Structure 1
Amino acid sequence: MQSRKILVIDDEVMVADISRSALTSAGHQVFCAYSGEQAVEMAMALRFDLAIIDAMLPGMNGIETFELIRQSCPYIKGILVSGDLTVNMTLEAMDKGFCRVLVKPVQAGYLLLAVQAALADYDLQEENIRLNKQVSKMRTLFEQYMAPEVAAILLDQQKSISEVAGEVQEITVLFADIRNFTFLVQYLPLQESREFLTEFFDMVADVVSSWHGILDKFIGDAALAIFGAPVPHGSPSLSAVSAALEIQKSFEVLRARWALTSDLFMQIGLGIGVSRGEMFLGNVGSGRRLDYTVIGADVNIAQRLASETVAGQILITESVYCDVVDKVSIQEEKTRLLRGMEKKIQIYSIIP
């Protein structure tokens, strides 16, 4: 049996000594206090796993003492001992956090069994705390590589991540691409390029989240975001367009600030494409390397639209146009044949 630190609290010295002797023989570290006030002081100085408390202490009673002890030892287990145990006292003890109640006089065998059961509860509690900390750590780690909403979905599944199935859903995607960034990196120190991209991606992530979107991934100097899944949202296309407008505005502020350090930043701009359609959202990859992402024709279309833009432009497909036509200012563009497509499609631009 693992040795534990136990506090015995009883104003009868002989009773406390008998309990100490039995528990010490079982391999535990046992300390005695003879009043509630003394017990509280000891608990503040030492971390106890279990307190065995007489209900009728002078001054503070046993239940009041345990409440104060838990302020400094919040995970401590408690056993209440009373020579005049009542139903009301039992209910109050359980309500205040005691895990066992015993009737005086307590035989050594019964005391050891109660202590063993209480410490088993303590072990289970400690294991739950450890697992919760581990899950929290995993969630934090996951959120560094994927959206918090996606991390929560994956961690809440009662199966391995590789077994989490995806599904085809109606999704709106936003693709934001820094135009002419390849030119910029030829002349900037790599550290400056990295710092600029970090600020850009932080801004995009914040804006997308504020409009109920999910940041899917960063691709070089571009970002892909999805709206409407995996967390359902009432107006995904409007949210995506609203996010695109805010991203463009914030990008201009970011670019102007960096242009104070180098005129080269005046050569870049941001193009955004937004499309809607049926896409697969889920795990894609191999058993060694999985990516929780979205795939489908409209993902490619959004990316192609972003590459067709001039700096500061937002291009949308007809499906998105139908969703937002009465809510934002829109200009019809000429039909275009996007790279990789067989037919021209009608596109529109958002007027800021």
Structure 2
Amino acid sequence: MTDWVQEASDWLVDETLRGTRADRLVRGLCEKMAEGGVPLVRVQIACGLLHPLFKAFSICWNRDEGLVRDRFAYSSPTSEAWLVSPLKAVLDPGENPEIRARLKLGEGINQFPVLKEFKERGYTDYYCTRKAFTWPEETALANMDGCIASFATDAPDGFTDRCLATIRRLFPRLAVAMKTLVREGTAQNLASTYLGSQAGERVLNGRIRRGEYDKIQAVVWYSDMRQSTELADRMPPELFIERLNRYFECTAGAVLDHGGEVLRFIGDAVLAIFPINGPGGAERASRMAVAAARDAFRHVERINANLPKEDLVPIRFGLGLHVGDVMFGNIGVPERLEFSVIGACANETARLEDLTKTLDRPVLASDAFANLVDNSDWDPMGSHRLRGVSEPQPIYALVL
């Protein structure tokens, strides 16, 4: 193995440990291979993802056109081009893990339409291969838990044996790097999806011991869907789940759209915070929460105007808003922890939401919260006793 190949291998290791992005790794390696004498014109790498929205991503480097990165959503239709591509063929566990097509000799162009296109572009040779990230290989490939790659050249004589040996030497090292980055991305995606972005970041940074917490200031949001117990009892489970998700898209989606963080889905309730930090402080966080509340109700109105015929009961919910100090950290048992907010402020927010049913106003806020926002948007509702709070509290209702 020549010195530059070893240097390229060492570079891959160092850059992976530094956390270099996948697209930069691919581009850097392609450039090093080209400088080392491998006449690459096009390289494509594709890996599966464990992500709530996307099933895979690909990175395509082209000597003349640069780098393009794509992500493929679960909702994306499977294209005919993919079904008849060599990448799809090499992904089949029952097939050869390599495809070599000397395009200048016409190999593969009748089997794979894309290779005919490559030949027309002037490409002379094509090599495609795969690496599974786990074992057994069949299971890994079926779950797209691995890496597939193609390498093309326009050199007059195609790939020499030495060039192919270099590609075969370096690709497994690139696959290890891609596996490391995919696994790190999976951890971040899952932590953010299931815990929220800030809580997930704290956990990944080592805040995993029971009892560890930070005392933070935040606007607290607690919303709860109406009639859920009754509807869950009489609706088919799949329809009720669809209803829940429509409601969560309206409420939790609005929180996320306006910079808040969803911490928990408690049955059909949403617990979220708008942390108080940065310019604007508490006033800005409160305005964000009000904007999210208005958006949530607008979204629900649109959904209620176009209900599916299987579920014609309009979605309704109540919302409590409060502001204060909360403890943000780990609670539970050592074997099963949850990262959430606890404290009087969080409890009182839930009590405010419960009061929306009694006062027949969908959004109620504490005096502390209402003092941070435009008073013209709020109707005073008098003082009311919240369960667990000794003195009656002034309550305000948002004018929607």
Q: TM-score, normalised by structure 2?
A: 0.55
The aligned counterpart of 2:346 is 299
Over the aligned positions, Cα root-mean-square deviation in angstroms equals 3.7
Say which is worse superposed, 302-311 or 230-239, in terms of deviation: 230-239
Any unmatched runs of 5+ in structure 2? Answer: 5-28, 46-168
Distance 1:188 1:312 in 2: 27
The aligned counterpart of 2:378 is 330
Q: Deviations over 1:236-264 (max 9, x none)?
A: 1111121112112212322343374444x
The aligned counterpart of 2:40 is 69
Q: Report percent identity of matched pairs.
A: 23
The amino acid of 1:288's aligned partner reads E
> How far off its partner does 1:140 sit?
2.2
> How far off its partner does 1:331 sit?
0.6
Q: 1:315 aligns with which of 341, 353, 364?
A: 364
Distance 2:339 2:3 in 1: 54
Distance 2:226 2:347 in 1: 17
Counterpart contact for 1:270–1:312, Cα < 8 Å: no
Aligned counterparts, 1:1-352, within 5 A:
63=35, 65-66=37-38, 68-69=39-40, 71-72=42-43, 127-155=176-204, 157=205, 159=206, 161-162=208-209, 165-228=212-275, 234=281, 235-258=284-307, 260-263=309-312, 265-266=313-314, 269-310=316-357, 313-326=362-375, 329-352=377-400
For these two proteins, the number of residue pairs brought into alignment is: 251
> What secondary structure is seen at the aligned counterpart in 1 of 2:232?
helix
Counterpart contact for 1:149–1:231, Cα < 8 Å: no
The amino acid of 2:292's aligned partner reads A
Distance 1:165 1:124, change over 3 A: farther
> What secondary structure is seen at the aligned counterpart in 2 of 1:280?
strand
Counterpart contact for 1:330–1:350, Cα < 8 Å: yes
> How far off its partner does 1:226 sit?
0.4
Distance 1:167 1:229 in 2: 13
Any unmatched runs of 5+ in structure 1? Answer: 1-5, 10-48, 54-61, 75-118
> What secondary structure is seen at the aligned counterpart in 2 of 1:333?
strand
> What secondary structure is seen at the aligned counterpart in 2 of 1:258?
coil
Q: TM-score, normalised by structure 1?
A: 0.61
The amino acid of 1:221's aligned partner reads D
Distance 1:286 1:248, change over 3 A: same
Counterpart contact for 1:282–1:292, Cα < 8 Å: yes
> How far off its partner does 1:232 sit?
8.6
Distance 1:275 1:229 in 2: 12
> How far off its partner does 1:151 sit?
2.1
Counterpart contact for 1:211–1:243, Cα < 8 Å: yes
Distance 1:134 1:342, change over 3 A: same
**Pair member with larger Rg:** 1
